Structure 1
Amino acid sequence: MAGHVVRPATDAVRLLVDARTLIEPVHRATIDELGPALRRVAGYHIGWWDVDGRPSPSGGKALRPALTLACARAFADGPVPPDVIAAATAVELIHDFSLLHDDVMDGDETRRHRPSAWVAFGTTAAILAGDVLVGLALRRVPPSLTGVLADVLVDLCEGQSADVAAETATSVDVEQCLATAARKTGALMGAACRLGALAAGADPAAADHCRWFGVHLGVAFQLVDDVLGIWGDPARTGKPAHSDIRARRRTLPVVAALAADSPVGRRLGRIYLEDRGEDENVPRIAELVAEAGGRAWAEAEADRRVRLAFGCLDRADPRPDAVLDLRGLARLVTSRDR
C-alpha cells in the first residue's frame, strides 16, 4: 500500500473524517476476511449494515484512529508510513471488540439508536465476533508492535473486571474509579497514541509521553461519557435517558456525589443503594447527583485531565502543527454531546 498524507488541520471534525476515510478500506477488507456468520455480526456492530445485511449509514467516530494518525504526523517525515494505517485500523478493531463485549456484560440493549449486536444476533454470536476482532487486530498490526496491543488487552480486561466488581461492592471511592477508567478507557487511547508515534519512528521516550497523553485523555473521555449517561440527550447518545442511573451503575459522577459528606449525598446514598429498580426515582436521583456536586466534579476533573494530557504532549516534543491537531481532538472529547 502506498504511503498516505494526512493533511494538517485544526478542525477536529475534519481529523475524524480524514481518519475514517483512511482506515475504512483497510477496516472493511479486514472484516471481509471473516466467514459469513461472524462477518455479518461484526459489520452490523460497527454500523456498516443492518441486521439483514443492507447498507447502513451509521458508524463510529474514529477518534482512536485519528489519535494514532495525529501522533504519527507528529514524528513522521513526509507521508505517513503504511504501518501507521495498519496500526490505526488495529486500534479500531480492539475498540470494536471492547464495545461488543461491554454491551453483553452490561446488558445494554441499544447502541447507535438500534439493538446491540447481542440483542440482534444472540449472546454467543456477539462474544465470538468480539473474540475474532482481537485476532484480526493482532494479525493487522506490524509484528514489532504486537506487544503494545497485548498490553492494552490486559489493561482493558482488568479495567472491565474492576468496573463489574464495583457494581456490587459495599463501597467504592473516587480514586479507585479513576484508576479503573485509566485502564478501561485510557489504556486504549494511550495505546492508539503510542502506536502512532512508534510506527512513525518516534523514540521510545517520546512515544511513552504520547501514551500518557492518551491515557489522561481517555479518563477525560470516560468522565464526559458518564455525564452523558445521566444527563445526555437520548436523541444524540443513542441510549435511553438516565440509562446509567436506571441500571444503578457506579459511574464517576455518582461515586463522587455518594462520597460527598453532605445531607444531599447521604440522601442520594439511601435512594441509590436501597431503592433499586424504582423507575419513578430516576429523575430525582439525577437531580441529587448534580446537587451533591457529582456533575460539577466530573466536568472539572475532565478539564484537569485534559491539562495533564497537554503537559505530556509538550514533553513528547512533537511538531507544532501536530500539537494543534492533538489539542483539537482533546477539546472535542470534552465538548461532545454523544
Structure 2
Amino acid sequence: MAQLRERIARWIDGCSEELREALKWQFLTGSKYFRPLTIFSCYRAVHDGPIPERIMQSALVIELFHNVSLIIDDIVDRSPTRRGRATMHIQFGELSALMTSGYIVAEGYLQLKDDLAGIALFSELLKRLGVAECMQWRLRRQPLGVEDWRKIAGEDTGSMFEVCACLGDRSGRLRTFGGLLGLLYHGCDDVGDVKGLAALGGGGEEDLRDGILTLPAALAIRDPGVANIFCSPQEGELAELGRYFVAKLPEAESYLDKIAEEARNEARAFASNPLPLLALIEQTRQLSRY
C-alpha cells in the first residue's frame, strides 16, 4: 500500500500543471484504497510470493478509475462535499472535473501498457459502471424490492469488486466472490448513510432526495404507505421517509450478514488460501457498524 501511494504521488507530480492541483485534491487525501487492497488480497488468495509488477499496476489503475467514478457521481448527485471536503467540481468547477476525469481514464490505459487481459477487464468495468449509473437513475422513485436492489448494486459496486477479484487472481475463479464483496460493500454503504456516517464518503441525503433504491429503502417500501411516499414525496415528507428507513436498519444488517456468509462460502470454495478474503469480508462488514 505504501508503494501504491508513492506511485500515485509520482504520477501526479508528472501530470500536466493545468490539472495537477485538481488531481492532488482528489487523490492525496482520504482514500481507504480498499479496491487495491482487494486486488492484493485476491492475488494472495491464489498465488504465493511477492506482489508482481502487473498486479501493482492493476492496483494503481483501479484507484484511478474508482476516482473517475467518484468525480462523476458527485456531479450527478450535486454533492457539495465528500469525506468532509469540497468535491472536485465544487472546488475547481464542473468543466475541470469532467476534463480531469477523462484525463485520468486516458492515463489508466497508458499505465496498463501491453496487459491485454487487464485492458479487457477495465473496459468491462467502465461499460458496466455506465450501465449501472443509468439504470439506477432510471429506476429511482419506483416501488422495487430487494432483488432489484441486488441487481442495481451488483452492476454498480459489485462490478468494481468483480473486476478487482479478476485482476488479482487472473483466472476468474474469484469473480463471484468479488461480486458478493461489492454487494456487501454497497449495502454497508447504504446502511452507513442512513445512520449518518461520514466514513464511507457516500450521500444519504442525496439518495433520499433523489429516490435512489438503497437497501433500507427496498425493505421499507414493502409497506404500501411507505412506497407511496417514496414514489411521490410531498413537501416535508422526506424526513418521515428517512425515519422509516432507520426503522429497517436491523433487518438490513441481518440481510448483510447473509451476503457476508455467501461471500465466505465462495472464498472457502475457490481460494487455496482463503484467509485474506475472509479478512476482507470482515473489514467490509464493519463499515456499517461504526
Query: Do these two structures clear the TM 0.5 threshold for a shared fold by scoring above it?
Result: yes
1:191-241 residue CA offsets vs partner (Å, 9 max, x unmatched) = 11211112xxxxx2xxx231211110101111111111111334x456677
Change (3 A) 1:240 1:271: same
Match of 2:13 among 26, 32, 53: 32
1:253 counterpart = 2:216: yes
Equivalent residue runs for 1:65-214 within 5 Å: 65-141=36-112, 143-144=115-116, 145-167=118-140, 170-198=142-170, 204=171, 208-214=172-178
What's the CA shift string for 1:271-306, capped at 9, x where partnerless?
33333452xx44432222244xx4233222222222
Is 2:275 aligned against 1:324? Answer: yes
Provide the C-alpha distance between the structure 2 equivalents of 1:33 and 1:139, rounded to a whole number of angstroms.
14
Residue 113 of structure 1, CA deviation: 0.1
Tell me which residue corresponds to 1:44.
25
Distance in 1 (CA, whole Å) between partners of 2:143 and 2:240 is 22
RMSD: 2.2
Distance 1:173 1:248 in 2: 13
- What's the CA shift string for 1:13-47, capped at 9, x where partnerless? xxxxxx2x13111122233342122222222122x
Q: Which residue of 1 aligns with 2:241?
A: 285
1:5 is matched with: none
* Secondary structure in structure 2 of the residue aligned to 1:43: helix
Structure 1 gaps, min length 5: 1-18, 49-57, 199-203
Work out the CA distance in 1 between the residues paired with 2:219 and 2:204: 20
Report the equivalent of 1:273: 231
Q: Deviations over 1:45-74 (max 9, x none)?
A: 22x2xxxxxxxxx32101111111111122
8 Å contact kept, 2:77–2:206: no
Unaligned segments of structure 2, at least 5 residues:
none
Percent identity of the aligned residues? 23
The aligned counterpart of 1:308 is: 262
Which residue is equivalent to 1:11? none
Contact 1:221 1:302 in 2 (8 A): no
TM-score by length of 1: 0.78
Q: What's the CA shift string for 1:305-326, capped at 9, x where partnerless?
A: 222222222232322xxx2222
C-alpha displacement of 1:118: 0.8
CA distance in 2, matches of 1:333, 1:257: 23
Change in CA separation of 1:239 and 1:276 when aligned onto 2, cut-off 3 Å: farther
Q: Provide the C-alpha distance between the structure 2 equivalents of 1:286 and 1:256, rounded to a whole number of angstroms.
A: 12
Contact 1:248-1:276 at 8 Å conserved across structures: no
SS in 1 for 2:174: helix
